[in-house]
Structure 1
Amino acid sequence: MANQKNENAAIAVYGANGHTGKFVLSELARRGLKALAVGRSAAKLAHAGTQAVEIREASIEDANSLDRAFLGVTAVINCAGPFLDTADAVATATLRAGAHYFDVTAEQASALSTYDTFDNDARQAGLVFIPAMGFYGGFADLLVSALRGDWDSVDDIRIGIALDSWHPTIGSRNTGARNTARRLVVANGRLAPVSLPAAVQEWKFLQPFGPQQVIEQPFSEISVINRHLRSTEIHTYLNETGYRDVHDPSTPPPAPADGSGLSAQRFMVEVMVRKVNEERHISAFGRDIYAFTAPLVCEAVQQVLAGKARVRGAQAPGAVFDALEFLNALAPDQLSFQTSGI
């Protein structure tokens, strides 16, 4: 439940009428946090029956509307992609409001821009700005940070993502069309374009996935991890099933499998961190990457409001939070995971 001293804190959810935004509103309500639904059309938000105590209308083209929408809020969660289009305007308005900022971008360039643009001002204002606090981005960073332990630097980080299906939302489709920049990895200690053609190899996931063919497919976690952890190499691989589904224009959007609204999709994320000849591993398993983003970002908001942020400014979640404590807060209801080597 909400921290006592923040029980009246208001959290604005921009893009509240979107697929992920609705999950975020529901999760905030479940946690007893006061949510304000913000979007381009108040009528559409009202018609959708969003779980919010108040509806406010705003658009990124109108800075004054954003200022009115964020008046009196303690934090803003931006769920409206493509974030290359929305993040700067929403984060700027959040800074003017004196509130903490979170988004769920999978776009590397958007996360990098938020770090570069807002770190100093947010730090001086005593605020926390966390881009990419979703399944793609912050989740892998937390897994890596949990493995890091007492290592101040590592030699190699490998992230494997297995999906039994990927039914992309309209927002994911729009983001893919907008985000045409060459994806980045960390190679030889520096951000560099991913090698083409993308590397294909086998990854021996734990059951129920087992061995899978994976394709190098970096998301925003590369930008996020590189923000605070030194590693010679950082690479992300997506299994062929997920890669094929998201690149197939005929794949339908996600559909609820039960009364919870979650799809039937299952995911597994495995991380290997190596320093010299020592390796550490973590495997995490859950359901519905879009729905899972909601407890991730809401837990981040709740910990910041509870005074658990270790640093201020535009930061990676692994720098802000105790990663293992954070993951344990999601288990076992939203996440199961196991580690080795630590």
Structure 2
Amino acid sequence: MKKIAVLGANGHTAQFVIDELISRGLEILPATRDGRLRRRDGSQTDCAAVDLTDASSIEGVLRNADAVINCAGPFLDTALQTARAAILSGIPYLDVTAEQAAAASLFTELDEQARKSGTTVVPAMGFFGGLADMLAAYAARGAGPVRSTDVAVALDSWHPTDGTRLTGKRNTHTRAVVKDGVLMPVEDTANRRWDFGPGFGDQEVALVPLSEIVLINRHISAHNVRSWMNLKPLSDLADTSTSPPVPTDSSGRSSQRFCVEIALEEAEGDYRRIRATGQDIYAVTAPLVVSACAMILEGRTTGLTGVRAPGEVFDPAAFFETVGPRLQIHTDA
């Protein structure tokens, strides 16, 4: 039985990740800052204690693990040292960051070391980042030169976790998009309209580039790559009185609905489109990152090592099959 270390195991998303790992017959090695694992049902058990500022502490947690999933944000403070410890331990590293700077730092700081050691490092393998990247990889199959890739996200609401709010305060880096083939700081922030189709319809969207920009830019050459989000969740996020997610079923999912659409432009006005819909952005992160982890451990990858975007490592069709019914995929690509 493969053993998966889960760092930040008391976090909201980590609880879904733990449940997903257990459901797939994988053994969990949870680690928290105080050495106590607190589950959604109120139960508590002892677990590994980890100091995420101490490399030797992280390495100790990973000593008996076959892979590590880092759920301990803000990832600007945890990703580099945890991924470095995973590389030294010779095990795959995955995280679920939405932070562009955190994902980019792994590519710039650790790619050469990871390649030399034959280790696979996959940042941002969650709802923000990895999902859009895999959808873009699906749309790009067999495509010619790509003029632009747009990611559009619609949420019917956003009840942020404490971790989301903490990350928002910590992440003061300037966001970037791809313009004329170059990753560069956002300049034009003008809103536009986006038709999300059934369920969400036509809505005004704002430019909100997250970690998917960094990922897509690694393997799809496009003149422009941008990401958009409808205004309702941004309003919820800006309102400090918006409550955290409220569970509405036995798995702990909230009622939140989402749609993520990729519009990949080959020739002018000639688009390939693919859309994913589902429930609860935090909950759906679990099958995304656990599927990726399992596929790496099973050798179901392209064979590439180093720090890689999901779309470089996994066949998109095979990947979405492993995620299962938590995502509904609609495509004309």
The corresponding residue for 2:133 is 141
Deviation at 1:51, TM superposition (A): 9.7
Deviation at 1:283, TM superposition (A): 1.2
- Cα pair 1:36 1:53 within 8 Å, conserved: no
Deviation at 1:62, TM superposition (A): 2.2
Change (3 A) 1:47 1:210: closer
Secondary structure of residue in 2 paired with 1:136? coil
- Cα pair 2:205 2:229 within 8 Å, conserved: yes
Secondary structure of residue in 2 paired with 1:298? helix
* AA matched with 1:300: A
Deviation at 1:64, TM superposition (A): 2.0
Aligned equivalent of 2:31, options 35, 38, 44 = 38
- Cα pair 2:38 2:45 within 8 Å, conserved: no
The corresponding residue for 2:205 is 214
Q: Name structure 1 gaps, 5 residues minimum.
A: 1-7
Output the TM-score relative to the length of structure 2.
Answer: 0.96
Output aligned runs, 1:113-128, within 5 Å.
113-128=105-120
The corresponding residue for 1:249 is 240
Deviation at 1:150, TM superposition (A): 1.7
The corresponding residue for 2:321 is 328
Instruction: Give per-residue Cα distances to partners, 1:280-299, cap 9 Å, x unaligned.
Output: 00111000000100000000
Aligned equivalent of 2:196, options 196, 199, 205 = 205
| Coordinate RMSD, CA, aligned | 1.7
Deviation at 1:329, TM superposition (A): 2.3
Secondary structure of residue in 1 paired with 2:129? helix
* AA matched with 2:237: V
* AA matched with 1:146: Y
Deviation at 1:52, TM superposition (A): 11
Measure, in 1, the Cα distance between the counterparts of 2:41 and 2:91.
Answer: 26
Deviation at 1:126, TM superposition (A): 1.5
Given the alignment of the two structures, is residue 292 of structure 1 paired with residue 308 of structure 2, yes or no? no
The corresponding residue for 1:9 is 2
Aligned equivalent of 1:258, options 249, 258, 275 = 249
Q: How many residues align?
A: 331
Deviation at 1:319, TM superposition (A): 0.5
Measure, in 2, the Cα distance between the counterparts of 1:47 and 1:23.
Answer: 10
* AA matched with 1:55: C
Measure, in 2, the Cα distance between the counterparts of 1:285 and 1:50.
Answer: 31
Secondary structure of residue in 2 paired with 1:90? helix
Output the TM-score relative to the length of structure 1.
Answer: 0.93
* AA matched with 1:287: Q
The corresponding residue for 2:223 is 232
Instruction: Give per-residue Cα distances to partners, 1:203-235, cap 9 Å, x unaligned.
Output: 111111111111111110000111121110001
- Cα pair 1:10 1:34 within 8 Å, conserved: yes
Measure, in 2, the Cα distance between the counterparts of 1:194 and 1:272.
Answer: 20
Output aligned runs, 1:153-172, within 5 Å.
153-172=145-164
The corresponding residue for 2:181 is 189
Secondary structure of residue in 2 paired with 1:244? helix
Change (3 A) 1:17 1:238: same
Instruction: Give per-residue Cα distances to partners, 1:282-333, cap 9 Å, x unaligned.
Output: 11100000010000000000000110121111000000000122113223x2
Measure, in 1, the Cα distance between the counterparts of 2:39 and 2:208.
Answer: 38
Measure, in 2, the Cα distance between the counterparts of 1:174 and 1:61.
Answer: 17
* AA matched with 1:112: A
Given the alignment of the two structures, is residue 339 of structure 1 paired with residue 326 of structure 2, yes or no? no
The corresponding residue for 1:3 is none
Q: Name structure 2 gaps, 5 residues minimum.
A: none
